[in-house]
Amino acid sequence: MDHGDQVVADLLGVVPDRSIFVLPPTAVPDTLDLLNQLGAERFIVSADHLNPRPLAASAEATLPARLVTGNGAARTALVADPNLAHHLVDSQGAVSAAQYLVADLALLAWSDPTVTRTAVLTAPDGQPVDPLTLDLVLGVLDEAPFLQVRPLPDLFDAARASDAAAAVNYGLWPDAVTPMSRRATDRSLAERAVAAYTAILGGPHPDAAALNDLLEVTAAGPVGHRPHDRLPELGVRVSQRGSSGLHHAVRPERTAHQPAG
């Protein structure tokens, strides 16, 4: 980890700040303790991975949160709205992604103009963001008159100062870790590789189309023999926008009450 810090310092002339960490979808309470030993003090977590899950991410996610660690301590966190993140991989392209994202942020800002709200935008789990989309979105966010793009340390300070008493204790609801033996035959891994290659090429390309065709041919045999293996994976991929309904269909129901104490 020290080597990575040195490379960033040499190339960019800045010292990495490890006090804020974006949690992966597989993080568990003990992960918080280990990261804290490495210098992480505050965390960013998707609302999809909280227990209880906020019923309205656009409202409750603007409040500070506390994540319960493996040893029972509570760590400061901000909640990222997964619905905002999904706009970054809009299948209709960069312009559509920027339009939907700004529209959702406008609704959040204008729902109560007297209150300053905080929204944290992260990349969607395991999906590459097209460079053109990212460039356009960042430009639009910078120009929007009702938005102020702020660094994460400022957002943590503002959230703690404005409404620290409203912070809710959450547990982590991690995704299952896929064993390496399954990853070797999991079609989704190949699909992500093709998607990343397409993004590098800047969009649809004959080479990427050829890889997709090859993927379909090589996957035809296993899918035909064991169709039930594909159902959960298809369900996850379909839920690109507004996934809360399917989300609750494949996981046990969780209530949105605040834990006692």
Q: Which stretch of 113-122, 151-160, 171-180 has the lowest confidence by average pLDDT?
A: 171-180
Q: Residue 87: count other Cβ atoms within 10 Å of its Cβ.
A: 24
As a whole number, mean pLDDT of residues 176-202 equals 66
Please name which of 109, 83, 92 lies closest in space to residue 245, comparing C-alpha atoms: 83
pLDDT for the residue 44 = 92
61-64 own/partner pairs: CB under 8 Å, 24+ apart: 61/119, 61/120, 62/108, 62/117, 62/118, 62/119, 62/159, 63/159, 63/163, 63/166, 63/167, 63/168, 64/156, 64/159, 64/160, 64/163, 64/164, 64/166, 64/167
- Side chain identity at residue 253, one-letter code: E
For the cut 80, the answer to whether the pLDDT of residue 133 exceeds it is yes
pLDDT band at 71 (very low <50, low <70, confident <90, very high): confident
pLDDT for the residue 176 = 66
The whole-model pTM stands at 0.61
Q: What percent of the chain has pLDDT over 90?
A: 7
pLDDT band at 209 (very low <50, low <70, confident <90, very high): confident
pLDDT for the residue 166 = 64
Query: Within the chain, which residue ranges are assigned CATH 3.20.110.20?
Result: 2-172
Q: Positive or negative CA dihedral for 107, 108, 111, 115? A: negative
pLDDT for the residue 179 = 52
pLDDT band at 260 (very low <50, low <70, confident <90, very high): very low
Q: For residues 54 and 220, which has the higher predicted lDDT (pLDDT)?
A: 54
- Side chain identity at residue 243, one-letter code: S
Highest-scoring range by mean pLDDT, 4-18, 47-61, 101-115, 173-187? 101-115
Annotation: CATH topology of 2-172? 7-stranded beta/alpha barrel (3.20.110)
210-242 pLDDT, tens digit per residue, is: 777 776 766 544 444 443 333 333 222 223 333
Q: For residues 212 and 80, which has the higher predicted lDDT (pLDDT)?
A: 80
149-167 pLDDT, tens digit per residue, is: 888 888 888 877 765 556 7
**8 A C-beta contact, residue 65 and residue 167:** yes
Q: Where are the beta strands (DSSP E) in the chain?
A: 20-22, 42-46, 50-51, 65-68, 74-80, 168-172
For the cut 90, the answer to whether the pLDDT of residue 112 exceeds it is no
For the cut 80, the answer to whether the pLDDT of residue 55 exceeds it is no
